[in-house]
Amino acid sequence: MQENETEISKENKFVEIKEIERFVRYLIAEMNYSSNTAKAYSVDMYEFAAFVKNTKNIELAKCDKNIIRDYLAYLYNKNLKKSSIIRKLAVLKSFYKYLVITDVITSNPTVSMATPKKDKRIPVFLTEQEILLLFDIPDIDLRDKAILELLYSSGLRIAELVNINVKDMDFIAGYVKVFGKGAKERLTPVGDRCLSSIRKYMNGEKAKGFSFMPNSPLFLNKYGKRITQRGARKALHNWFVKASLRKKISPHTLRHTFATHLLDRGCDIRSVQQMLGHKNLSTTQIYTHVTLETLRKVYDAAHPRS
């Protein structure tokens, strides 16, 4: 981001760097965006600002619908993935909506622009047998086993998991309180095996001298501090390698697996949507076509003329 700032500030007196910076602060303070997401938005905005400077040489606040369409065409010509283009357009929509809210402009040039439909891709997920292989790794660390269990048991994002505090766990009712995207709160069920793994992990940490107060982070690093996303990903990657699975997997793969297995076992899609914290049902529907193979087997076994 620093390189973009330097390049633009030297070459284009019209690019409103301060406006972009204020937009990023607004995302964090008012919209509850994570710092990582806000940083990604700023990178996209600086890229758009550079395009406007090099092709139009006008202020961002004076861009109209045609300029934004030219920018989208430019992105298509760069052979960017459609998902990347959709994200960049979403950033521009948020930026110009912000400019309207703050009275910098009176009309939003993106308001009537349709968002391209995403290409549907089959999400990578693990079979039930592969899950067993992952959880049966010998000598797996108690903390990492608990993290794996919770990711698969509740379908959490890794960012949601590392932010869980002790008080967010309800060991009696079997729920975890999660703060998802946009700081939206939801309650998600947790399985008995997962709860058992978390208890074993916490007892192990207490034996090392660490204490767990209600506001304490649930998952700790070796210094007794909250584990970071990077730390959790690095730890889990080692176990993914040891499991020798023939798939490129990540913590998010367990979220895909959670949703797929629930649907395969007959859970209704609305419940899966709620547990995943998806705003729109269409987001959850990426998992439904994965279950078509299961439906076909049921059909072939049950229909008299299949």
Which residues form the catalytic set?
Answer: 157, 181, 252, 255, 278, 287
Which residues does 281 contact at the CB level (< 8 Å), separation at least 6?
269, 270, 273
Residue 298: both structure tokens together = 């049921």
Cβ atoms 143, 219 nearer than 8 A:
yes
Q: Residue 175 — φ and ψ, nearest 5°?
A: -135, 155
Residue 154: both structure tokens together: 């509740």
Contacts of 130 (CB under 8 A, 6+ apart): 243, 245, 247
Structure tokens, 88: 């960049």
Measured distance CA(213)–CA(166) in Å, rounded: 7
In what helix (H) or strand (E) does residue 169 lie, and over which residues does it extend?
strand 169-170
Contact 284, 276 (CB under 8 A): yes
Q: For 39-122, where are the E strands, in sequence order? A: none
Q: What is the Cα 31 distance to its own chain's centre? A: 16
